[in-house]
Amino acid sequence: MITNAYVKKVFEDFCKKNPNEPEYTQACQEILESLELAVEKHPSIEKNHLLERFLEPERFVQFRVTWLDDNNQIQVNRGYRVQYSSAIGPYKGGLRFHPSVNASIIKFLGLEHSLKNSLTTLPMGRGKGGSDFDPKGNSDTEIMKFCQSFMTELYRHIGPDTDVPAGDIGVGGREVGFLFGQYKRIRDEYTGVLTGKGLEFGGSLARTEATGYGLCYFTNAALKTLKNDSFAGKTVVVSGSGNVAIYATQKAQQLGGKVVTVSDSNGWIYDPNGIDVAVLKQLKEVERARISEYAKRVPGSVYTETKAGNPTVWTTKCDIALPCATQNELKIDDAKALVANGVTAVCEGANMPCTLEAAHYLIDNGVIYGPGKAANAGGVATSGLEMCQNSMRLSWSFDEVDSKLKDIMENIYENIYTTQKKYDLKSNDLLTGANIAGFEKIANAMKAQGLV
Ligand code: NDP
Ligand code: 2IT
């Protein structure tokens, strides 16, 4: 609940300006609730209107994307890019292609990115984009044609020192390749304008693995400091079966945990023997199959369809839960089920997968709660490392990038821990610590740069 008069006013104005944008409002409320403490400690935030300036995007672009499908029929989609802030670096953030994408989703993701990019300590501002285009069910040619048309508009807004997009839901190596090809063709320049590129054309080793691996490095750092514990011997529940979920599963198992679930939007798998990552990768990265196929290939595993009345992935007894699919996938009843089953840590691979009510419930019940803006920052951090390699026209080895990623994730946790102590917060409340630590750096930069 927001009690400070200035913060309350900022939130009321935000709600008036952004009606019918529930995800954006949710992200804003969560951040403002945390920032009350900083506002009370630093009067200069109110004096310089830093919350209002932080919350108002520098630029928001919406555009038409027309393309021809395989039947020569014209298709029309909507594209977006929010360039939220360049206070601490060029705009940076992924592109999401999913039928649910709208202005609210793009802006909430842009807002989350602000604090996330700040926490990485790398010089990256904040941005996000995407389209309501659904890559599922389209041929490779159709996806290429869509990406080319999308970039034919987007190219005028981006550049290696201006705005550097990457992947997110529905945008992986294949899509980034098509987008990069079209940018190069229009601009006639070869630069690191996108990250998550193929290894043959400027991509960084370990970028594919980075978000999932980083999530586990962050979770391990929190478990070590707060519980003198680790993944070893723990039962882990993962949701999703895309890029983040696959590599979170792989790293959690390398660190000695047993991941017993994965899911997609149709249902989820329980595998008491531990998810077989080779089968998962074959199904999702090569065949692009549904997760139900896993149960047909791996004896002993069980598939449960997602429908009213069926148990959800969160009813599975576990020590650690890693939501890695999408926003608001873990609701209050799911949080209650996890706590009743004795969960120790919930760390977010996805962006805002817990509802606000679920996050508060977990924190109030002593669970280590690692918000996505901190726990999943390994993806964008490694994108930052890709930008660095592109600028130097060099490439580092997998181990070099992976060890930098591990250092960054451990430093993010340390930074949050120090902030929690400074503000006298509960040790398991990494949310307030992350919001304040991320915001302070941006606020100082905005103040120093005058009225821009
Ligand atoms: P992918 O497209 O690779 O995978 C997404 C997964 O989530 C799929 O299993 C998908 O299932 C599932 N999913 C998507 N939408 C829904 C929905 N509405 N309901 C249920 N399940 C759904 O995306 P990523 O793995 O890259 O992204 C996952 C999350 O991680 C997102 O929140 C993203 O913003 C976040 N993230 C990603 C980063 C990255 O580097 N890729 C970095 C940091 C955060 P289905 O196939 O059925 O749609
Ligand atoms: O949400 C995210 O952090 C991402 N999708 C990664 C963005 C990036 O620029 O690598």
Average confidence (pLDDT) over 388-402:
97
Whole-number pLDDT of residue 368 = 98
8 Å CB contact between 351 and 110: no
Residues facing 77 on adjacent strands: 65
pLDDT in tens, 191-207: 999 999 999 999 999 99
pLDDT of 383 higher than 90 = yes
Pairwise CA distance, residues 88 & 126, whole Å: 9
Centroid of ligand 1 to alpha carbon of 200 (angstroms): 25
* Ligand 1 binding pocket includes 170 (Cβ within 6 Å): yes
* Ligand 2 binding pocket includes 380 (Cβ within 6 Å): yes
* Ligand 2 binding pocket includes 379 (Cβ within 6 Å): yes
Pairwise CA distance, residues 134 & 115, whole Å: 28
* 3-state per-residue secondary structure call for the chain: CCCCHHHHHHHHHHHHHCCCCHHHHHHHHHHHHHHHHHHHHCHHHHHCCHHHHHHCCCEEEEEEEEEECCCCCEEEEEEEEEEEECCCCCEEEEEEECCCCCHHHHHHHHHHHHHHHHHCCCCCCEEEEEECCCCCCCCHHHHHHHHHHHHHHHHHHCECCCEEEECECCECHHHHHHHHHHHHHHHCCCCCCCCCCCHHHCCCCCHHHHHHHHHHHHHHHHHHHHHCCCCCCCEEEEECCCHHHHHHHHHHHHCCCEEEEEEECCEEEECCCCCCHHHHHHHHHHCCCCCHHHHHHCCCCEEEECCCCCCCHHHCCCCEEEECCCCCCECHHHHHHHHHCCCCEEECCCCCCECHHHHHHHHHCCCEEECHHHHCCHHHHHHHHHHHHHHHCCCCCHHHHHHHHHHHHHHHHHHHHHHHHHCCCCCCEHHHHHHHHHHHHHHHHHHHCCCC
Residues in contact with 307: Cβ distance below 8 Å, sequence separation at least 6, in sequence order = none
pLDDT of 165 higher than 90 = yes
Average confidence (pLDDT) over 386-393:
97
pLDDT of 53 higher than 90 = yes
Q: Which amino acid is at 87?
A: A
Answer yes or no: 128 catalytic: yes
pLDDT in tens, 325-343: 999 999 999 999 999 999 9
Pairwise CA distance, residues 146 & 245, whole Å: 26
Centroid of ligand 2 to alpha carbon of 328 (angstroms): 18
Q: Which ligand lies nearest the alpha carbon of 352?
A: 1
Q: Which ligand lies nearest the alpha carbon of 249?
A: 1
8 Å CB contact between 412 and 430: no
Centroid of ligand 1 to alpha carbon of 265 (angstroms): 10
Centroid of ligand 2 to alpha carbon of 382 (angstroms): 9
pLDDT in tens, 106-154: 999 999 988 999 999 999 999 999 999 999 999 999 999 999 999 999 9
pLDDT in tens, 8-48: 999 999 999 999 999 999 999 999 999 999 999 999 999 99
pLDDT of 304 higher than 90 = yes
* Ligand 1 binding pocket includes 264 (Cβ within 6 Å): yes
* Ligand 2 binding pocket includes 351 (Cβ within 6 Å): yes
Q: Which ligand lies nearest the alpha carbon of 328?
A: 1
- Ligand 2 pocket check: which of 211, 327, 385, 408 to mutate, most ligand atoms within 8 Å of Cβ? 211
The pairing of strands 126-131 and 91-97 is parallel
Pairwise CA distance, residues 107 & 128, whole Å: 7
Cβ neighbours around 204 below 10 Å, total: 26
pLDDT in tens, 276-301: 999 999 999 999 999 999 999 999 99
Mean pLDDT taken over the chain: 97
pLDDT in tens, 428-449: 999 999 999 999 999 999 999 9
Average confidence (pLDDT) over 212-233:
98
Q: How confident is the model at residue 59 (pLDDT cuts 50, 70, 90)?
A: very high
Centroid of ligand 1 to alpha carbon of 183 (angstroms): 25
Whole-number pLDDT of residue 452 = 80
8 Å CB contact between 53 and 446: yes
Q: Which ligand lies nearest the alpha carbon of 262?
A: 1
* Ligand 1 binding pocket includes 240 (Cβ within 6 Å): yes
| Ligand 2 nearest atom to the CA of residue 207, by list position | 10
Considering only CA atoms, which residue is closest to atom 10 of ligand 1? 264
- Ligand 2 pocket check: which of 97, 113, 162, 247 to mutate, most ligand atoms within 8 Å of Cβ? 113
pLDDT of 238 higher than 90 = yes
Q: How confident is the model at residue 1 (pLDDT cuts 50, 70, 90)?
A: confident
* Ligand 2 binding pocket includes 168 (Cβ within 6 Å): yes
Name the catalytic one among 116, 128, 234, 251: 128
